[in-house]
Structure 1
Amino acid sequence: MTRNPMASRHRWIYLGAIVLLVGMLVTALLTYSELHETNEANRKAEQLSEALTAAGYPVPSQSQIVHTLGEDGGAVCEDPADALKQAQWKYGMSNGASGPGQRPVLSDREVVFAESIVLSVYCPDKLAAIKEKIDDLKLDDTVRN
């Protein structure tokens, strides 16, 4: 019994077509999920823009918010009440010197509360823990309008 060389050639065409279709299916699924994530990120960014505007804060562009915070808040929502995050947060509220010259400063109340607005939009379940930390800070009106 001899094999037909045409049947072998057709088998490769069928296999190639199957691989191509599977590749297109995977691409379509990934594109769909990315589009869904982008829509969610845009919705939350718009919500944040409205909240910041209502509170009187300057608002970054929509694309900056989407690229920075995405749909889940990014680094802002990764356990904001964690001790290391709090240390980094408080370090940002120092005078900027290093070593023995570094001193805490009175941070502006409005700057600190802006983060709570971001948390209320992107991860409201973590807002209560950070509000307790904010209440313990010594804040004042230090930024000129």
Structure 2
Amino acid sequence: MAIHRMDNIAIVVNDLDHAITFFQALGLELEGRQMVSGEFVDQTLGMSGVRSEIALLHTPDGHSRLELTRYLNPLAQAASGNQPNTLGLHRIMFAVDDIHATIAELRPHGAELLGQVANYEDTYLLCYLRGPAGIIVALAEKIA
């Protein structure tokens, strides 16, 4: 057995258009968008009557992909919370050229800093933002 790569990370959102716009503002590029349903979806998810709309985005280098999913049936379930110490998906992190410019670009799309931009050993500037569907998006700028 050999793993070839990590293909993508999937995030369930309630507003697909907003989530796409948010991640495009971050610099991801939309590969495609489509409705999915049918026996293969039901079999894969272990659910019946699934109908969802997905969008696939990739980073500019083409190596990392993000799948955004909006469930039409059954409707998505609200999580009990997404704090940094919540079990499960912790956050998704992106390396950026200019952390302050990136934050400014994402604010009009609803991004909110959880804390502040922190300096890690004069090597990285780091921050956590609240993004679409309450997910935590981390940013890292290499400064040394």
Q: Which category of TM-score, normalised to the shorter sequence, fits these structures?
A: under 0.3
Name the TM-score, length of structure 2 as normaliser.
0.25
Name the TM-score, length of structure 1 as normaliser.
0.25
Answer with 1 or 2: which has the greater Rg. Answer: 1
Q: Higher strand proportion, which one?
A: 2
